[in-house]
Chain A
Amino acid sequence: MKLWSLWRKREKELEKEIQHHLQMAAAERGERGASRRDAEAAAKREFGNVELVKEVTRDAWGWRWLEDLCDDARFSVRMLLKNPGFTIVAILSLALGIGATTAMFSVVYGVLVNPYPYVNTDRMVHLTVQETRGNPLFINLNGPQLQQLRQAGSLESVAAMQGWNLTTTEGDLPEDVRAAYLTSNSFIFLGVPTLLGRGLLPSDAPEGQDPENVVVLGYQFWQRHYNGDPDIVGKKIQLVHKSYEIIGVARPRFTWGDGEVYLPLKLTADPTRTYFPMTRLKPGVTRAAANAELQSLLEQFAKQTPSHFPEHFHVTLAGLNDHFVERIGGTLYLLLAAVALLLLIGCGNVSILLLARGTARQHELAVRSAIGAGRSRIVRQLLTEALMLSLGGAAIGVAMANNLVKLIVDWLPEFSFPHEAAISINLPVLFFSVGLALLTGIVFGISPALRSARPDLAQVMQANARKTTAGVRGRRTHSILIAGQIALTLLLLAGAGVAMQGFLGMMRVNLGYDPHNTMSVGIPVHDDNYKTWEARGTYFHQLLLKVNEMPEAVSAGISTNATPPNNGWDERFEISGKPAAEEQRARLNFVSAGYFVVLRIPLLQGRIWYESEAMHGANLALINQTLARQYFPNGGAIGSEIRVPALKGEPPLDLSAAGSDGWFQVVGIVGDARNDGLRNPIMPSVYVPYTIMMPVFTQILVRTNVPPLTVLHAVREQIHTVDPDQQSDRDVRDLDGWIKHEPEWEQEHLVATLFAGFGILALVLAATGLYSVISYTVAQRTGEFGIRMALGAMRKDVLLIVFRSAAMSVVAGVLAGVMLTISLNRVFTRWIEGSSLDALVLAGVILLLVITSGLSCFIPARRASSVDPTVALRYE
């Protein structure tokens, strides 16, 4: 705009300058005695062509190209406005493609390209190991081990974190706050400045002293709890009856450890307390070298605290984003590919429209070329038109993308992408979209422009603007474009079919428990409370009783770690008298007897333990059907004994009953319920009384006679009556909600919904393309049809001609699409897990395409067949 006003100013100045010149020249002639009229005429004659002078002068400005561009743009806009139907269809086709691509790209950019705000993220690594079965495990270390890790030669620096649930003790009910205790070098380690105030500093946790009572607020917590109060720094916050001074507020993207508040951590010498380390490699040190160095160090640690390590492992440091790339990277790229296809289909559409219009404009272009327009000038003009379309499409597309991005972010599996990621339409994404628009403009514009810019002058002029049958070559280009569109649409629809089939299959999976009207309320226990086994057991029992006595509660149970569909600790177990040839693993669950009632998991054999037995910490166990079938194929499970060697508490945090690592008597077999997600087969499961092992956390399951979340507040009040400081997790969901929270559910939901949406859009675009081509050819051949009908062709003959012209490209497109789909099937099965192309889906997709194509042909074909020959022959 600024450039434009500058241009206007210079233009005006030039005009003034020339007028002055003419006046001076005329005035001088006037002084010499010429009449006014003669003087003016002579001055003009001497000056020459004013417009020409202006033009050559403007050339000296070096803005000629801009001037041409402006002319072209102005002319293009005029041409586009003259054909609003064409323009709207073209811009919308592009807007859909560009909008969807922009949205997907912003997710890819946010999650995979630039996920973290921290410094030197490329050298930051997670301390992970692979156990014998190849599963990666995060390793936590205790204080002395961390000090030793700091000495490692390949590491530049080490910081550590411990997560803990605190509560605010100010409101009517205690509110849960996720605290991240960070070693005092962490803010320097991460290198992100705070939004307000300062971060934690080494002076906040002096060596050998208790840390200062200071806290840095996470951005979200600051927004939620303090409404973003800008004067918060220096105020106090009460957490579990302790007052902390607020020294700073973190930036929005600083979400390390998903902390809501950050407190200084003091490493203790207590070997049972472990911390989550974060490490940065020295520059130039490869991961392989660091793995080798840390292997021997970690083996040494494993000897000190065997229960914190798997039996056999090798160190494989993982980059910060590796885990997420593995989980969601493929899915995101797949979706990006899908929207790229959509964009291509949109481009195809616009190409078709432009070609059709180019043919209609042949006369105009021929005239322009006859009066001296160069070929490159015409190509430039047509390309400008194409670019105007694509930029218009991009503008609308980006506006739509904003909404789509929000939708996708909502649907992304919650723990499959880094929470630091800023997924939005930001500057790099905008650059991408504009670049994309220019590229698409050239892609769909260049071929029509080149073709139209080469009009056969003699032929076109002679044809006297009479519409003739389009050349064979033009029709072939159309056919190829249509076939290509249909092939790509088929590919997208097949992908959508596969994804939806996979998702629906997962929805139909037999859960083995009844998730409806049930919720799980997580209860984190405070650090210094209920430190003995008896006290904690009684406390949990009281909580259970209190919830159970609510009128809305149908039944209640404790499920320390057993809330399906992904539950239990994965542990090695032994069966008495049956030495194991290979490692036997099962999911170990700590539950109360009511658990099975709440979830309606049937007891198949034997009995469930009594509450009184649980209160004594009796060594009784239930197993699921899978375990019974796998390890007791000939029966005899009941009465046998099993043992989990690693089942031993670590006071003061994890309290276990005496003899918890001893033999447990199997008293019953219960039905199988999903315990390893919705997709994987059910794992062998062992259920033992919750009193056997009580960590600083429990969960109460409650089945209600009303929608469960409506009584959440009442449940919290019940808990409050037992211990006024006892908060519960803020993230409480019903069991249907937890199913929808499973990463595989979220992922398949995302892929299936988006693919279906893209597939439908592609179908609409392809139908529009086909419809435009047929309408256009029909209009071109109106005269021909008139002649045919005058010579005795029937309506159905004309219909047939029209259909036949489309049928070839549709059939070719379907065939190409089927081949493309089959050859890409491997990609589908890889990234849309648990699904592969089946013939039924493919047949359905083909049918859908053929019907849609038929409909898009039928309307213009009917129009063609219903022309009155006399009208058609005169038609011009």
Chain B
Amino acid sequence: MKEGYRNRIELLQGTLDLLILQTLLWSAQHGYGISQAIRANSGDLLQVDAGSLYPALHRLEKQKWICADWKISENNQEVKVYRLTAAGRKQLTRERSRWEQISDAIGGVLNPGKKESAS
């Protein structure tokens, strides 16, 4: 437990939105599923706490980048499932390219020599 805690990385402002949108790109997911997917795909490095996840989901929903449906799960429970909208898809591309620019820029700063090959 302590180990996991220490390995957690504070997410950069705005990157959580990107991660959520990306997670929803291929399949619709409920809130818990999204947090598990992010955790698994980051090799347990990124853990999204509920206090960040749910406000983010509701904010994205309000901006109409994702939308939610209520479905019945296997054990007969109502589950709120989020999926990407067309606007969300566009937003994802925008955010991705922005992220790539940032990471390139940071990479460029950290490795000044490789500037040309980065672009």
Q: Report how far A676 CA is from B38 CA in the complex, Å.
A: 96
On whether A20 and B80 interact (CB within 8 A), knowing A57-B58, A60-B58, the answer reads yes
Closest to B51 in A: A53
Q: Report how far A53 CA is from B35 CA in the complex, Å.
A: 15
Q: Report how far A13 CA is from B30 CA in the complex, Å.
A: 13
How far, in Å, is A59 (CB) from chain B's closest CB? Answer: 7
Q: Contacts of A14 on B, CB cut-off 8 Å?
A: 54
Asked if B32 and A48 sit within 8 Å, CB to CB, the answer is no
Closest to B4 in A: A46
Q: Contacts of B56 on A, CB cut-off 8 Å?
A: 60
Q: A1-21 toward B: CB 8 Å interface, digit per residue (1/0)?
A: 000000000000110111011
Q: Contacts of B33 on A, CB cut-off 8 Å?
A: 24
Q: Contacts of A52 on B, CB cut-off 8 Å?
A: 51
On whether A17 and B62 interact (CB within 8 A), knowing A24-B32, A25-B32, A48-B49, the answer reads no
Q: Is A138 an interface residue, CB under 8 A from the partner?
A: no
Asked if A17 and B31 sit within 8 Å, CB to CB, the answer is yes
Contact of B50 among A47, A59, A60 (CB under 8 A): A47
Q: Contacts of B64 on A, CB cut-off 8 Å?
A: none
Asked if B79 and A20 sit within 8 Å, CB to CB, the answer is yes
Q: Contacts of A18 on B, CB cut-off 8 Å?
A: 50, 54
On whether A60 and B62 interact (CB within 8 A), knowing A17-B54, A20-B80, A24-B32, the answer reads yes
Q: B65-81 toward A: CB 8 Å interface, digit per residue (1/0)?
A: 00000100100011110
Q: Is B59 an interface residue, CB under 8 A from the partner?
A: yes
On whether A53 and B54 interact (CB within 8 A), knowing A17-B80, A60-B62, the answer reads yes
Closest to B49 in A: A48
Q: Is A428 an interface residue, CB under 8 A from the partner?
A: no
Asked if A62 and B62 sit within 8 Å, CB to CB, the answer is yes
Q: Contacts of A48 on B, CB cut-off 8 Å?
A: 49-51
How far, in Å, is A24 (CB) from chain B's closest CB? Answer: 4
Q: Contacts of A13 on B, CB cut-off 8 Å?
A: 70, 80
Q: Report how far A62 CA is from B55 CA in the complex, Å.
A: 11
Most B-side CB within 10 Å, residue of A13, A14, A24, A62: A24
- Tell me the number of A-to-B contacts counted with CB atoms below 8 Å: 57
Q: Report how far A17 CA is from B49 CA in the complex, Å.
A: 15
Q: Contacts of B32 on A, CB cut-off 8 Å?
A: 20-21, 24-25
Q: Is A61 an interface residue, CB under 8 A from the partner?
A: yes
Most A-side CB within 10 Å, residue of B51, B62, B70, B77: B51
How far, in Å, is B68 (CB) from chain A's closest CB? Answer: 9
Closest to A19 in B: B77
Q: Give the contacts of A576-596 with B (CB-CB under 8 A).
A: none
Q: Report how far A598 CA is from B63 CA in the complex, Å.
A: 87
Q: Report how far A181 CA is from B30 CA in the complex, Å.
A: 77
Q: Is A56 an interface residue, CB under 8 A from the partner?
A: yes
Q: Contacts of A20 on B, CB cut-off 8 Å?
A: 30-32, 73, 77-80
Q: Contacts of B35 on A, CB cut-off 8 Å?
A: 21
How far, in Å, is A9 (CB) from chain B's closest CB? Answer: 11
Asked if B50 and A21 sit within 8 Å, CB to CB, the answer is yes
Asked if B59 and A60 sit within 8 Å, CB to CB, the answer is yes
Q: Report how far A59 CA is from B57 CA in the complex, Å.
A: 12
How far, in Å, is B115 (CB) from chain A's closest CB? Answer: 40
Most B-side CB within 10 Å, residue of A14, A18, A47, A57: A57
Q: Report how far A59 CA is from B52 CA in the complex, Å.
A: 12
On whether A56 and B51 interact (CB within 8 A), knowing A17-B31, A20-B30, A61-B62, the answer reads yes
Q: Give the contacts of A651-707 with B (CB-CB under 8 A).
A: none
Q: Give the contacts of B8-67 with A (CB-CB under 8 A).
A: 30-33, 35-36, 49-51, 54-56, 58-59, 62
Q: Contacts of B73 on A, CB cut-off 8 Å?
A: 20
Q: A53-77 toward B: CB 8 Å interface, digit per residue (1/0)?
A: 1001101111000000000000000
Q: Give the contacts of A21-58 with B (CB-CB under 8 A).
A: 21, 23-25, 28, 46-49, 52-53, 56-57
How far, in Å, is A42 (CB) from chain B's closest CB? Answer: 9
How far, in Å, is A816 (CB) from chain B's closest CB? Answer: 56
Contact of B80 among A16, A23, A60, A62 (CB under 8 A): A16
Q: Contacts of A59 on B, CB cut-off 8 Å?
A: 55
Q: A806-827 toward B: CB 8 Å interface, digit per residue (1/0)?
A: 0000000000000000000000
Q: Contacts of B50 on A, CB cut-off 8 Å?
A: 18, 21, 47-48, 53
Most A-side CB within 10 Å, residue of B31, B55, B59: B55
Q: Report how far A25 CA is from B36 CA in the complex, Å.
A: 9
Contact of B55 among A16, A25, A28, A56 (CB under 8 A): A56
Q: Report how far A717 CA is from B30 CA in the complex, Å.
A: 90
How far, in Å, is A604 (CB) from chain B's closest CB? Answer: 93
Q: Give the contacts of B94-119 with A (CB-CB under 8 A).
A: none
Closest to A61 in B: B58
Asked if B77 and A60 sit within 8 Å, CB to CB, the answer is no
How far, in Å, is B66 (CB) from chain A's closest CB? Answer: 13
Q: Contacts of B59 on A, CB cut-off 8 Å?
A: 60
Q: Report how far A20 CA is from B31 CA in the complex, Å.
A: 9
Q: Contacts of A53 on B, CB cut-off 8 Å?
A: 50-51, 54
Q: Give the contacts of A132-153 with B (CB-CB under 8 A).
A: none
How far, in Å, is B70 (CB) from chain A's closest CB? Answer: 8
How far, in Å, is B83 (CB) from chain A's closest CB? Answer: 15
Asked if A57 and B55 sit within 8 Å, CB to CB, the answer is yes
Q: Report how far A782 CA is from B36 CA in the complex, Å.
A: 68
Q: Report how far A18 CA is from B79 CA in the complex, Å.
A: 10
How far, in Å, is A20 (CB) from chain B's closest CB? Answer: 6
Q: Report how far A52 CA is from B51 CA in the complex, Å.
A: 7
Q: Report how far A836 CA is from B56 CA in the complex, Å.
A: 73
Q: Report how far A28 CA is from B33 CA in the complex, Å.
A: 11
Q: Report how far A64 CA is from B59 CA in the complex, Å.
A: 14
Closest to B60 in A: A60
Q: Contacts of B31 on A, CB cut-off 8 Å?
A: 17, 20-21
Q: Report how far A62 CA is from B63 CA in the complex, Å.
A: 12
Q: Contacts of A56 on B, CB cut-off 8 Å?
A: 51, 54-55
Closest to B33 in A: A24
Q: Contacts of A49 on B, CB cut-off 8 Å?
A: 51
How far, in Å, is B57 (CB) from chain A's closest CB? Answer: 8
Most A-side CB within 10 Å, residue of B30, B33, B49, B80: B80
How far, in Å, is B10 (CB) from chain A's closest CB? Answer: 16
Q: Contacts of B36 on A, CB cut-off 8 Å?
A: 28
How far, in Å, is B76 (CB) from chain A's closest CB? Answer: 12
Q: A24-B33, A60-B59 are in contact. List 13 more A-B contacts (CB 8 A).
A: A13-B80, A16-B80, A18-B50, A47-B50, A49-B51, A53-B54, A56-B54, A57-B58, A60-B54, A60-B55, A60-B58, A60-B62, A62-B62
Instruction: Enumerate the 5 nearest inter-chain pairs by beta-carbon distance, A residue then B residue, closest first.
Output: A24-B32, A60-B58, A60-B55, A57-B54, A60-B59
**A: which residues have CB within 8 A of B?**
13-14, 16-18, 20-21, 23-25, 28, 46-49, 52-53, 56-57, 59-62
The contact sample of 10 A-B pairs, CB cut-off 8 A, is A13-B70, A17-B54, A18-B54, A20-B79, A21-B32, A21-B35, A28-B36, A48-B50, A60-B56, A60-B58
